[in-house]
């Protein structure tokens, strides 16, 4: 648009157009424009990041990536890349450049971008019910303010659960996952039963795709509970930190037999519900760092086909006890790389086994689909992917947000089931402001980062660790972790054929 402000009249502006031939170029056909400046291809939106001293990773809007030598990147951005070269063909086929032959390229790119963002339309499908804060374990890395076994005041009341169910069914999502959390949720199993039955009755008319999960340490598991889970097709998620001694050290309980109870519980769940009805999560403590291969081997020994490697989260008891400061992110990354190498070797020896965090990122890198994993989304997954109903009826944007609240900071409280509707919660300033402020497409460093299509914003983490929802990425362990994991995966995909074949098989 030609700016006319500051000119005395439009005629003068028009005369200016006549004396500035270069401005007239915009009214000529595109072919003559190309000829004049010698650019035969246009660059489509892309980001880049160095892979090592000689190569860059380039990513496009749809999350496709390509690795190029630095010299080729220089030629590309100066419009000097040989259009007959294999690199050019690859860039063109993956929507990094556009030329006269690319008639449907932009439409195709738009379709791919929409596919990657499709989950946004499936607003809020995960609902966590904290049915009690009581717990029989006293894990020093616990992220919530667990309470002792006799403190029933920390159980969710039935009327709170009823209102939470009403609010949950206001979500437009076709699929709904109800996850029971604690404390140890099996200690309030009567309420779990009540919620399951109310949700099922309600769903007779709602007709959503409903799934139930109990996140439990398995210690209080009884045969009656198992029979109930079988009848109502409830999935189980548990914790397994590694071999007996390590697990029991990480997860103390009276009797010191957490591992024995977990192992026995895993076996009983498989017998009662089926082999694929239970999954396990591990947490890395300082004691885990020297034992990555033993931890993986323990998972294999106990019949699991995957593990989710994760560092300590900076919330709750993990902060109070100082556990989060006992190792650095660099040490965790070394642990991750060793564990991943061992998993790849197992696969090459014929033992099928996956690392789930890597799988999530690989899915973003190598398939047209999104993952729905809350921590790696932009806009952030808080609220729009899942909500937490705390035992007292308070609603939080994520499990980490309620953990923060349990230590006195209610920054991410979105409302309460007593006073607020689903619409109030989803349109609250506490949620919408944070989502819009933290989108990685626009925040410093992420906006230019080649790994942006695979990463996320995690405002609760950055608020907890840096006091700011956007976060200063050069000193963020979230950024450090993701950048290193993504770089490592691209290295394996590009430079190690055997590893690449294993990683691709996980998709």
Q: Does 449 contact ligand SF4 by CB under 6 A?
A: yes
* DSSP classification of residue 155: B
- Cβ distance to ligand SF4 smaller for residue 380 or 414: 380
Local structure of 415: helix, strand or coil: strand
Q: Does 445 contact ligand SF4 by CB under 6 A?
A: yes
21-53: burial string, b at 16+ Cβ within 10 Å, e else:
eeeeeeeeeeeeeeeeeeeebeebebbbbebee
Which range binds ligand SF4 by CB under 6 A, 345-353, 383-391, 414-422, 438-446? 438-446
Minimum gap (Å) between residue 42 Cβ and ligand SF4: 25
**Three-state DSSP string of 97-153:** EEECCCCCHHHHHHHHHHHHCHHHHCCCCEEEEECECECCCCCCCCCCCCECCCCHH
Q: How many residues make up the chain in this entry?
A: 507
Q: Please provide the DSSP assignment of 347-408 as one string.
A: HHTT---EEHHHHHHHHHHHSS-----GGG-SS-SBTTTEEEE-TTSEEESSHHHHHHHHTT
Q: Does 59 contact ligand SF4 by CB under 6 A?
A: no
Instruction: Name residues whose C-beta falls within 8 Å of residue 106's C-beta, 6 or more positions apart in sequence.
Output: 44, 98
Which range binds ligand SF4 by CB under 6 A, 111-119, 366-374, 407-415, 443-451? 443-451
Judging by DSSP bridges, how do beta strands 234-239 and 278-281 pair with one another? Answer: parallel
Minimum gap (Å) between residue 83 Cβ and ligand SF4: 31
Spatial distance between the Cα atoms of 18 and 302, rounded to a whole number of angstroms: 79
Q: Does 469 contact ligand SF4 by CB under 6 A?
A: no
Minimum gap (Å) between residue 87 Cβ and ligand SF4: 24
Q: Does 473 contact ligand SF4 by CB under 6 A?
A: yes
Contact 490, 65 (CB under 8 A): yes
Minimum gap (Å) between residue 451 Cβ and ligand SF4: 4
Number of residues that bind ligand SF4 (CB under 6 A): 11
Q: Does 490 contact ligand SF4 by CB under 6 A?
A: no
Q: Does 217 contact ligand SF4 by CB under 6 A?
A: no
Q: Does 446 contact ligand SF4 by CB under 6 A?
A: yes
Is omega for the bond preceding 333 within 30 degrees of 0, making it cis? no
Report the largest interatomic distance among the alpha carbons of the chain, rounded to a whole angstrom.
91
- What would the two tokens of residue 206 be? 């709602």
- Cβ distance to ligand SF4 smaller for residue 184 or 477: 477
Task: Say which residue the tokens 């489509």 belong to.
Answer: 44
Q: Does 398 contact ligand SF4 by CB under 6 A?
A: no
Q: Does 116 contact ligand SF4 by CB under 6 A?
A: no
- Cβ distance to ligand SF4 smaller for residue 47 or 55: 47
Interactions with ligand SF4, residue window 243-302 (CB under 6 A): none
Pattern 331-370, ligand SF4, x by CB under 6 A: ----------------------------------------
Q: Does 48 contact ligand SF4 by CB under 6 A?
A: no
Q: How far is CA 323 from CA 311, 314, 398, in A?
A: 11, 9, 22
Q: Does 479 contact ligand SF4 by CB under 6 A?
A: yes
Which range binds ligand SF4 by CB under 6 A, 121-129, 241-249, 392-400, 448-456? 448-456
Q: Does 483 contact ligand SF4 by CB under 6 A?
A: yes
Task: Say which residue the tokens 């994760």 belong to.
Answer: 310
- Cβ distance to ligand SF4 smaller for residue 339 or 443: 443
Q: Please provide the DSSP assignment of 233-296 as one string.
A: TEEEEEE--SSHHHHHHHS--TTS-HHHHHHHHHHHHHHHH-TTSEEEE----GGGTT-HHHHH
Which range binds ligand SF4 by CB under 6 A, 32-40, 67-75, 266-274, 440-448? 440-448
Which range binds ligand SF4 by CB under 6 A, 54-62, 72-80, 228-236, 450-458? 450-458
**Listed residue (482, 456, 326, 462) closest to 400, CA to CA:** 462
Q: Does 463 contact ligand SF4 by CB under 6 A?
A: no
Q: Does 455 contact ligand SF4 by CB under 6 A?
A: yes
- Interface with ligand SF4 by CB under 6 A: which residues? 440, 445-446, 449, 451-452, 455, 473, 479, 482-483
């Amino acid at each position: 648009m030609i700016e006319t402000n500051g000119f005395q009249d439009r005629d003068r502006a028009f005369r200016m157009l006549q004396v500035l031939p270069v401005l007239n170029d915009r009214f000529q056909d595109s072919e003559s424009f190309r000829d004049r400046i010698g650019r035969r291809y246009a660059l489509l939106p892309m980001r880049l990041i160095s892979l090592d001293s000689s190569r860059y990773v380039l990513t496009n809007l749809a999350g496709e990536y390509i690795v190029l030598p630095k010299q080729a990147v220089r030629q590309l951005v100066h419009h000097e890349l040989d259009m007959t070269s294999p690199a050019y063909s690859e860039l063109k086929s993956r929507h990094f450049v556009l030329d006269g032959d690319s008639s449907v390229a932009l439409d195709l790119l738009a379709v791919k971008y929409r596919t990657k963002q499709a989950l946004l339309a499936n607003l809020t499908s995960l609902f966590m019910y904290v049915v009690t804060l009581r717990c029989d374990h006293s894990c020093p890395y616990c992220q919530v303010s667990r309470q002792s076994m006799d403190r029933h005041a920390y159980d969710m009341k039935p009327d709170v659960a009823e209102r939470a169910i009403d609010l949950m069914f206001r979500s437009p999502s076709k699929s709904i996952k109800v996850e029971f959390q604690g404390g140890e949720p099996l200690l309030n199993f009567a309420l779990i039963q009540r919620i399951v039955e109310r949700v099922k009755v309600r769903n007779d008319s709602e007709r959503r795709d409903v799934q139930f999960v109990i996140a439990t340490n398995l210690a209080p598991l009884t045969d009656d509970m198992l029979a109930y889970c079988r009848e109502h097709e409830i999935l189980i998620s548990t914790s397994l930190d590694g071999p007996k001694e390590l697990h029991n050290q990480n997860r103390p309980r009276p009797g010191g037999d957490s591992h024995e109870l977990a192992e026995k519980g895993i076996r009983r769940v498989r017998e009662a519900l089926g082999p694929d009805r239970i999954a396990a999560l591990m947490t890395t403590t300082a004691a885990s760092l020297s034992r990555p291969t033993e931890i993986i081997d323990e998972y294999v020994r106990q019949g699991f086909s995957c593990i989710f490697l994760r560092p300590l989260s900076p919330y709750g008891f993990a902060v109070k006890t100082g556990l989060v400061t006992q190792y650095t992110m660099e040490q965790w990354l070394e642990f991750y790389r060793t564990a991943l190498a061992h998993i790849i070797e197992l696969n090459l020896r014929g033992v099928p086994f996956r690392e789930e965090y890597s799988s999530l990122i690989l899915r973003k890198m190598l398939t047209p689909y999104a993952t729905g994993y809350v921590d790696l989304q932009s806009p952030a997954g808080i609220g729009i992917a899942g909500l937490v109903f705390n035992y007292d009826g308070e609603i939080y944007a994520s499990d980490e947000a309620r953990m923060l609240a349990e230590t006195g900071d209610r920054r991410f409280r979105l409302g309460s089931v007593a006073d607020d509707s689903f619409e109030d919660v989803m349109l609250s300033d506490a949620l919408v402001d944070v989502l819009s402020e933290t989108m990685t497409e626009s925040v410093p460093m992420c906006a230019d980062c080649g790994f942006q299509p695979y990463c996320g914003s995690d405002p609760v983490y950055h608020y907890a660790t840096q006091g700011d929802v956007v976060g200063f990425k050069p000193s963020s362990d979230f950024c450090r972790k993701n950048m290193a994991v993504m770089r490592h995966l691209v290295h394996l995909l590009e430079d190690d054929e055997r590893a690449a074949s294993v990683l691709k098989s996980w998709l």
